[in-house]
Amino acid sequence: MSALDMQMYVDGQWHNGVDGGRIQVVNPARTTEIVGSIPDGAPGDVDLAVAAAKRAQYDWSRLSLAERAALVADAGARLAAIDPSGPEALTREMGKILAESVMDFQSSPWVWSHYLNDLDALDKVLTDRQHDDTGRLEVHRRPVGVVGAIVPWNWPIALLGVKLGPALLAGNTIVAVPSPFASLGVLKAIEAIGAALPAGVVNVVTGTGERVGAALSAHPDVGMIAFTGGMEAGRAVAQALGSRLKRGVFELGGNDPAVLLDDVNVDDDLIRKLAAAFTVTSGQVCFAVKRLYVHETLLEEITAKLGDALQDMVVGDGLDPDVTMGPLANERQFKRFTAILAEAEASGAKVSSFGRVRDKASWDGGYFHLPALVTQVRSEERIVCDEQFGPALPIIGFRSDSEAISLVNATPFGLTSSIWTPDLSRAWDLAEHIDAGVTFINKHGMSAFDPGAPFGGVKDSGYGREMGTEGLLEYTWSQQINDRQIYG
């Protein structure tokens, strides 16, 4: 396939960047293959993009909600109808299977539809009107202005979309900085939606986080940052915002537990859901199951059946239609993941790999790893207490509900979690004791999401919310306008 040499998108135009430098994009399934290149952006590019967004925001915010909604709906329709080159570019640059890349592009229109399908409700959220015989009071939710959106490489279009839709509907404009490991897919998405929106409303600056991400976070004309990514980078962004008293929404990943109680139905449906929940995108998803806690009476059965199910996994190039799990996304993540797994094994844990290699001849030329179950592992090992972000699942037994909750909460993370039991009353009671922004019951993963509900974490998993009404309000500030005569 031909290389994709793309440009950044600023003020409705495509640019190579002020410095003219380029970053080569490598295929993680074949590391000798150059997929394409992107501009190596500089702070000057951020300045141009923010200035364009600031100019555009004045007119954009003065459109009626219905007018903005019509343009966002058009953008969503264009994104949903994107040609195959978009998902193919995403798979080639970060590795996940093509079906997941297609879903990445389709998810934004799905999230936006939650807002677009009921504009009356959205209008009431943005303007609270109260009239009585004392006069008139209104609380207007005003747009923040220019929003900086920093998105990672695992689900870049979806994670940009959950920021883009509500921010634009609230009257903001956007400057986005995607990961250099997944900028081609984002730029393909912008190719699709750019024509639907006025120049400057959405801008994309490519490059490294150290250069363009830092410049965006420190820019005085950026009203807030919506960040999804690693904890270390998130803290750096938060510090930059704090020094300017600016706001942020941070989703910093998680070490997400699934808890199987002693009465769970151990059937094929359960095993299939658990296997999918930890191997999606090769385990490189913030809300993937990363710790599995099983009541000790079921530990042996669950482990055996999960291993049997994983034998059907086929690992290889994500563009191959027979492949069910692609490589890890880049060399840094591959080395980190394999080091964590090796540490666990060296400390006495049992690491069992499953599935089959699609192409043995090319295996060593990509960042591939078979899915693995880790048993006989101590809770203090990194693979249990940290976020491994790869296709390995530690399985740990427990004896009581209280012990399970204690084990689940013994981590600095708190993004998503799940409880599995046919006793819904018991599940709901236990859910209230889990330190996580989201707790699913008898489900975990992509199919569990409701775009009308807020998503986000607690503790080191970040703060602020995306999606739902709360996600929309993050991109606004409230102004009270009041002519009431109550006293005197």
Of 38, 46, 453, 440, the closest CA to residue 260 belongs to: 440
Element (H, E) at 230: none
Cβ 249 vs Cβ 166: under 8 Å: no
Buried b / exposed e over 345-383, threshold 16 CB at 10 Å, is beeebebeebbeebbeeeeeebbbbbbbbbbebeeebbb
Q: Would strands 224-228 and 314-315 be described as parallel, antiparallel, or unpaired?
A: unpaired
192: Cα separation from own chain's centroid: 21
Half-sphere exposure of 37 (CA within 13 A, CB side): 11
Active site residue 385: no
CB 327 within 8 A of CB 367: yes
Asked if 428 and 402 touch (Cβ cutoff 8 Å), the reply is no
Q: Could you say which DSSP state residue 209 is in?
A: I
Strands 438-441 and 462-463: unpaired
From CA 77, how far away is CA 65, in angstroms rounded?
18
**For 242, which DSSP code?**
H
CB distance 342 to 310 below 8 Å: no
Q: How far apart are CA 21 and CA 182, in angstroms?
A: 17
Enclosing H/E stretch for 106: helix 98-116
Amino acid at 135: G
What CA–CA distances, in Å, run from 316 to 92, 246, 363, 368? 12, 44, 8, 7
Cα gap 239→137, rounded to integer Å: 37
Question: Of the residues 88, 100, 191, 251, which is catalytic?
Answer: 251
Which H helix or E strand runs over 12?
none
Closest CA to 248 of 202, 206, 213: 213
- Helix (H) / strand (E) containing 274: helix 268-279
Tell me which of 93, 100, 191, 286 is the catalytic residue: 286
Q: What angle do CA 345, 341, 158 make, to 5 degrees?
A: 160
The structure tokens 């004791």 sit at: 433
466 assigned to active site: no
Q: With CA atoms as reference, report the closest residue to 371 among 423, 308, 429, 425.
A: 308
CB atoms inside a 10 Å sphere around CB 265:
11
| Nearest of 234, 320, 325, 311 to residue 278 by alpha carbon | 325
**Rounded Cα distance, 228 and 285, in Å:** 11
Active site residues: 251, 286
